[in-house]
Amino acid sequence: MATSPRTFHIELFEEYLQEASFLYEQRLKLFDNAEIYWKRIGEYEERLEAHIDGLVVGDKLALEVCSRHAAKGDFGELFAAVSVFCRQDRRDVVLSIFDQLDPADAEKASAAADALKYELPDAWFPDFLTLLASGDPKLAPILARAFGYRRLPCSPQLLSAMKRCATSALPEIVWALGRIAHNSANGPLLDYLTSEDEPIRSAAAVALARIGEPRAIDSCLDQARSNTWPMVTLGLASGRSALRLLTELAEKKGSADCLIALGLLGDPVSIPLLISRLAEPATAAPVATALQCLTGAGIHETVFVPDEIDDDELFESEREQLKQGKKPDRGDGRPFGSTVTRLSQNPEDWKRWWQTNAARFTPGVRYRNGEPFSPARLVEALTDESTPYQLRQYCSEELATRYQYDFGFETDMPVSCQINKLAEAVAWSKTGGAQFQEGEWYFGGHRCA
C-alpha cells in the first residue's frame, strides 16, 4: 500500500519520539542500578541525543508531532518534545505545553524541568525570571529546578516566588536557593526549618548547610531524636556532637538514614556498631553502603534476590496459593528473581576484614573510602566509575557543605558535562583544596567541633 511522504515522515518522527521517551526513562532507572557504572549512562544519552536531533532536523512537521505528543503522551515524550522546542527557539510552544501540565503529576513536572535544565536557551532567561518571580504553581517549581541547576543569579525571583507559590512548590524553591547560595536567603530559609511540612524542613536544612549557616546544624541536632529527616544532613555537614548523638540513636536501632549518616561522618569508631547492624535485614543494605563509604573495603557477594510480589499482578489462583504460603514460581519450583552482585551484607565478611584492617584507622580521624577525608577524596569518589549514584550525590553536597566549594556539578548532568566539570574539580582539589587538613572535621570552610 502506497504511503505519502508526509505520512511516512510523521510515522518516522513518532518513532523517534517514542524511542527518545524509552531512552530517557531508561536513563533515569540506570541512576539507581548499582551494577551500571555512571559513565556507561553516556551511551544511552548519545542514543537519546540522536533521536532528539532527528526531530530538530525534522523542522515544522516534527514540531507538529512533538506538540501533539507533549500534550497527551507520557513523561518521556514530554522531555523529548520540550528539548526540541528549546532547540527550535519556540518559547510560545513551551509555555503553551506548561500551561496544560498538572502540577500533581510529578513525573511530567520532573521531565519538563530536566528538559529546561539541559536545553533552556540563554535568550529566554529574562522572561523566564519574571515568570519564576510570579510564583505560578505550574511554572515556579520547574523554573526553580532549572535555574538552580544552572546556578543562575536569581535570588530575588526565588524569594518572590517563595512568598507567592503553593506549599507543594516550596521544596524546589528552597533547593534552588541552596544552589544559588546567596546570603539574602538565610533569613527566609531559617524560618522553614520549623515548617510543618517535612520535605520543606529537610530542603531548608540542606540549603542552609550549603550556604554555611551553623543554625541549620543546631536545628537538625534538636530535631533528630524525634525525626529521621535531619540524619543525612547531619552526616553531610555536622561535627563530633552529631557523631555522639547518631551513635546513641543507632545503638537504639536507629533508622537507615541514621546508619548512612554514620558512614558519611566517617569516624572508624562507628565500624563495629555498623557491622552489628548487618544482621538485621531491614538495615543490612544501608549499613553495607555506610561501611563501604567509610572503609572503601570493596567486599562484594553474589546472591539471588527474589522479585517482590505484587498482588495486583497475580492470577486469582496464585493469590489463593500465596495465602497458603506458596509463592508464585517459574513452573519448575524456581522462584522469580535475579542473581546480582552487591556490597556484602554478611556480618562475617566484614568482621574478618575489620580484624585485619582495624590498625589502619585512627579514632577521631574522618575517613572516606578507607583514606583520611579531604576534598581530593570526595573528588576521587565522584570520578570513580564504581561509586554508586547516591554516594556521588552525597559527595557533591559535601564539597559545598564542608569546604564551601560548589563547581556547578550535579550527578544527573549528561556524562560529557560531568567529565568536564570533574576536570575542574580535580584541578581545584590540588590547589584550593590543599588548604584543608586531611581527616579533620570541617563545616562551611572552617574547622568545626
Mean pLDDT by 10 residues, the chain (449 residues): 76 94 96 90 97 93 92 93 96 92 90 97 94 91 96 94 91 95 86 94 96 96 94 96 95 91 98 95 94 94 72 59 59 66 92 97 97 97 94 97 96 97 96 95 94
What's the predicted TM-score (pTM) here?
Answer: 0.90
DSSP lists the bridge partners of residue 372 as 367
* Dihedral sign (CA 95, 97, 99, 105): negative
The pLDDT score that the predictor gives to residue 322 is 57
pLDDT at 339: 79
The pLDDT value given to residue 1: 46
Return the pLDDT at 303. Answer: 79
User: Which residues share a beta bridge with 306?
Assistant: 337
Give me the pLDDT at residue 327, please: 61
The sign of the torsion formed by the CA atoms of 364, 366, 370, 376 equals: negative
Give the cell for residue 205. 536544612
Confidence at residue 5, expressed as pLDDT on a 0 to 100 scale: 83
